[in-house]
Amino acid sequence: MYDTIIIGAGPAGMAAAIYASRREMNTLVMGKELGGQLVWASDIENYPGYKSINAFDLIQKLQDQVKSLGVSIKNVEVKKIEKQEDGTFKLFTEKDIFEARTVIIAMGLSPRRLAIDGEERLSGKGVSYCANCDGPFYKDKVVSVVGGGNSALDAAEILSKIAKKVYLVHRREEFRAFEALINEVKNRQNIELILNSSPVEFLGQDSLKSMKVKNNKTQEIKEIEVDGVFVEVGRIAHTDIVEGLAERNEKKEILVNELAKTKTSGLFACGDVTQNEYKQITVAMGQATTAALAAYQYLQVLGSEKQ
């Protein structure tokens, strides 16, 4: 029986584990992908204390710190969570069952992929899913942003201040973003709009060299030379395991209060998987700290009530 099980092995999960273990909670971290969304980035330049750090180096440092505190990390996917009559939780993986007094959900989000040729092979080698993370590495270069929502236009606007040229590729004629942001993007001289068009292939061997784009009206395919592509077609919250245990919004993000609590006693959530507006590493880790301390407080109150 663990005091807390943390689902998610990214920055939020690691931060929660650090603070839980420092409260001498018997802690287990479970996640199907060690590092979480950091695996989609190359180098991180907005993590305090480091001017720049490789994403995998940061993942390793976080894991080493967590393990040094005696926390176990299991590279498995939790398939189901059940709350028992005694208030504890059972977590089911493909093969095993784990028990905990509290659970912290820190699963993050998964970027929605385009599922086209070359995307997976060139991920981290020119194909990125985070303009804030990887944008600075494309100073005075030519890049493309794929998408038509607020995140895509925001990425294009940010990159226009860094890159020499930005192609904004959108499958429709109209954007689905704030009007002020649309106007801002349209007024940027180094942003070229490629509308009614969709990427069909990313090309390059060791790094991205170009992309093929198809016009959805004429079916014409043209090749555009780019140094980087930022895919901004949304992120997905895979939160069905908390169905019935936590309230979720239309994006399936978990709704929590200021103490990271869900509607179920003993169940907490933190980071990008929650309704929090700002999906950034430091924000997620701060919320994870709150979740761990709130879980500890919950157990303290529970213990005093039983005495």
For residues 276-295, give the mean pLDDT: 95
With a cut of 70, say whether residue 41 has pLDDT above it: no
131-145 residue pLDDT tens: 877 898 999 999 999
Q: Residue 40's pLDDT is what? A: 65
Domains and CATH numbers, the chain: 2-111+235-306 (3.50.50.60), 127-231 (3.50.50.60)
| Other CB atoms within 10 Å distance of the CB of residue 116 | 16
249: which residues sit within 8 A by CB, 6+ positions away?
255, 275
Calculate the alpha carbon distances from 106 to 83, 141, 216, 285 in Å.
18, 35, 39, 10
Distance CA 197, CA 272 (A): 30
User: Residue 252: pLDDT above 70?
Assistant: yes
Q: What is the mean pLDDT of the chain?
A: 94
Q: Is the pLDDT of residue 247 over 90?
A: yes
Q: Between 236 and 83, name the one with better pLDDT.
A: 83
Is the pLDDT at 234 greater than 60? The verdict is: yes
Between 121 and 305, the more confident residue is: 121
Q: Where are the beta strands (DSSP E) in the chain?
A: 2-7, 27-30, 43-44, 53-54, 72-74, 80-83, 89-92, 97-105, 110-111, 127-128, 142-146, 165-169, 191-194, 197-203, 210-215, 221-225, 228-231, 235-236, 267-269
Q: What is the pLDDT of residue 56?
A: 86
Model pLDDT, residue 207 = 96
Percentage of the chain lying above the pLDDT 70 cut: 98
Q: What is the mean pLDDT of residues 83-111?
A: 95
Q: Is the per-residue pLDDT at 33 higher than 60?
A: yes
CB 45 within 8 A of CB 130: no
* Residue 112 pLDDT > 90: no
What pLDDT shows up at residue 307?
57
* Stretch 23-30: mean pLDDT: 97
The residue ranges of DSSP E strands in 154-304, in sequence order, are: 165-169, 191-194, 197-203, 210-215, 221-225, 228-231, 235-236, 267-269
pLDDT level of residue 42 (50, 70, 90 thresholds): low
Specify the DSSP class assigned to residue 20: H
**The predicted structure's pLDDT at residue 211:** 98
Q: What is the dihedral of CA 255, 258, 261, 263, to 10 degrees?
A: -50
* C-alpha closest to that of 203 among 125, 136, 277, 261: 125
Both tokens assigned to 253: 């993000």
pTM, two decimal places: 0.74
Distance CA 280, CA 137 (A): 18
Q: What Cα–Cα distance (Å) separates residue 189 from each residue in 79, 84, 100?
A: 49, 60, 56
Within 10 angstroms of residue 84's Cβ, the number of other Cβ atoms is 9
Q: Are 262 and 268 in contact (CB under 8 A)?
A: yes
Location of structure tokens 């999960």: 13
Say whether pLDDT at 73 is over 90: yes
Predicted confidence at residue 25, as pLDDT, reads: 97
Distance CA 30, CA 142 (A): 39
pLDDT tier for residue 55 given thresholds of 50, 70 and 90: confident
**Per-residue pLDDT tens digits for 154-198:** 899 999 999 999 999 999 999 988 899 999 999 999 999 999 999
DSSP label at residue 31: -
